[in-house]
């Protein structure tokens, strides 16, 4: 199949991406912001990153405390995720504004989002400058998960969490399940 | 709302993620592999990364040529994406195996995937070790896009591409559109 293509200069069109609620700080200085520039860096040790603009309120908090939590977002959290991406913590308590609740984390001092089905608790190991953004690379030191998402065999049923994705400026639910990792090989073996 | 949570040690449970076809190499040495450990690092300059295990066939190719392309995946490319994540280029021509076509790229020597709706062409600027994976950080030097996804006003209609997401070992279509960036604020302003 030959498809006509057009060319642009470089741009940040990777899609879909997660749109996660990142929590940081402590007590009255706790804050939450939404980040799509995030990803896993390595499996062993489990490491991830978030990229945050230098001018964002949370930038200084994370640079000082060197801790943050990445809270996965769902259909129910879509409005909060959007709001925490638009508003600044300098304008007031974004937890209250977004209608989300601070919950204690297990391994870090900054709060988690109680309403999030799954939280990755992170400790920064490096801050790398990259133009508009600073890249906070971090060890994932603990994961917390809604108990109701664990089945009787201890398996995580993340497909029941109602996760959302961010693609080209829009939020989407996840739709039809197309197959599990390795499905292409398993189908072939059956023939 | 107070939800019971359980705690695990750190793990790579960020979801959903893209599952992109990464192309690299030239001519007969061209290869393609699937990567979910990827993300945008900064907007200006536009930079992204892919994390690749040292033992993968493509690792040496990208380390040598310092170029790769990130091809977004769709429902039609789900089987190819899965196959190129499971099989190694050492076992034969994965383009043929996965039924995908090499197309010339605009700014780099490695091929793009003709069937992909959108390709980010990347030039490596650093390789950072992180345990199991090496992180290839790169400038996005060009983007190519299917002409049919551009409307009469030049707007990219990426929502028509049928992109897929990867979440906890499963591939999903994107489902219902919940709103565009800023929808939480716009709705509030109407009241």
How much is the pLDDT for B187?
A: 55
List, for residues A76-96, the tens digit of each pLDDT value: 999 999 999 999 888 889 999
User: Average pLDDT, stretch A4-19?
Assistant: 95
Say if A88 is an interface residue toward chain B (CB within 8 Å).
Answer: no
Distance between terminal CA atoms of chain B? Answer: 26
How much is the pLDDT for A2?
A: 63
List, for residues B135-172, the tens digit of each pLDDT value: 999 999 999 999 999 999 999 999 999 999 999 999 99
CB spacing of B44 vs A146 below 8 angstroms: no
Average pLDDT, chain A: 95
Residues near A28 by beta carbon (within 8 Å), at least 6 away in sequence? none
CB spacing of B169 vs A180 below 8 angstroms: yes
Residue B122 main-chain phi, psi, to 5 deg: -125, 145
Say if B27 is an interface residue toward chain A (CB within 8 Å).
Answer: no
List, for residues B16-25, the tens digit of each pLDDT value: 999 999 999 9
Encoding tokens for residue B4? Answer: 């019971």
Neighboring chain A residues of B51 at a CB cutoff of 8 Å = 39-42
How much is the pLDDT for B97?
A: 95
Kindly list the structural domains of chain B, giving each domain's residue range(s) and its CATH number in brackets, ordered by start: 20-190 (2.30.110.10)
The three-class DSSP label of residue A63 is helix
How much is the pLDDT for A54?
A: 95
How much is the pLDDT for A91?
A: 83
Return the closest-CA partner of residue A105 out of A76, A73, A129, A140: A140
Residues near B64 by beta carbon (within 8 Å), at least 6 away in sequence? none
User: Average pLDDT, stretch A137-146?
Assistant: 98
Closest CA in chain A for residue B122? A10
How much is the pLDDT for B191?
A: 45
Bridge-partner residues for B112, per DSSP?
A: B103
How much is the pLDDT for A6?
A: 92
Residue A78 main-chain phi, psi, to 5 deg: -60, -45
Read off the DSSP letter of residue B62.
Answer: H
User: Average pLDDT, stretch A59-73?
Assistant: 98
Encoding tokens for residue A32? Answer: 């939450």
Neighboring chain A residues of B172 at a CB cutoff of 8 Å = 174-178
CA distance A6 to B105: 11
The three-class DSSP label of residue B47 is strand
Distance from CA of B189 to the nearest CA of A (A): 13
How much is the pLDDT for A191?
A: 45
Residues near A96 by beta carbon (within 8 Å), at least 6 away in sequence? none
Interface size A-B, in CB pairs within 8 Å, comes to 344
State yes or no: ipTM above 0.90.
Answer: yes
CA distance A190 to A179: 15
Facing B82 at nearest CB: one of A15, A175, A181: A181
List, for residues B75-132, the tens digit of each pLDDT value: 999 999 999 999 988 888 999 999 999 999 999 999 999 999 999 999 999 999 999 9
Encoding tokens for residue A29? Answer: 């200085």
Count of residues making up chain B: 191
Neighboring chain B residues of A144 at a CB cutoff of 8 Å = 5-8
């Amino acid at each position: 199949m030959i498809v006509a293509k057009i060319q642009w200069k470089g741009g940040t069109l990777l899609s879909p991406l997660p749109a996660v609620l990142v929590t940081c700080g402590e007590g009255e200085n706790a804050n939450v912001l939404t980040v799509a520039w995030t990803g896993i860096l390595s499996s062993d040790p489990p490491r991830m990153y978030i990229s945050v603009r230098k001018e964002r309120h949370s930038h200084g908090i994370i640079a000082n405390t060197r801790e943050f939590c990445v809270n996965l977002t769902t259909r129910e959290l879509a409005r909060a995720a959007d709001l925490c991406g638009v508003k600044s913590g300098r304008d007031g308590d974004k937890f209250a504004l977004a209608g989300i609740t601070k919950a204690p984390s297990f391994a870090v001092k900054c709060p988690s989002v109680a309403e999030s089905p799954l939280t990755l608790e992170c400790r920064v190991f490096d801050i790398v400058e990259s133009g508009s953004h600073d890249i906070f690379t971090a060890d994932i030191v603990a994961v917390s998960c809604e108990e109701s998402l664990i089945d009787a065999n201890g398996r995580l049923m993340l497909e029941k969490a109602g996760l959302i994705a961010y693609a080209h400026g829009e939020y989407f639910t996840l739709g039809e399940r197309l197959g599990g990792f390795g499905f292409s090989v398993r189908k072939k073996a059956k023939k």
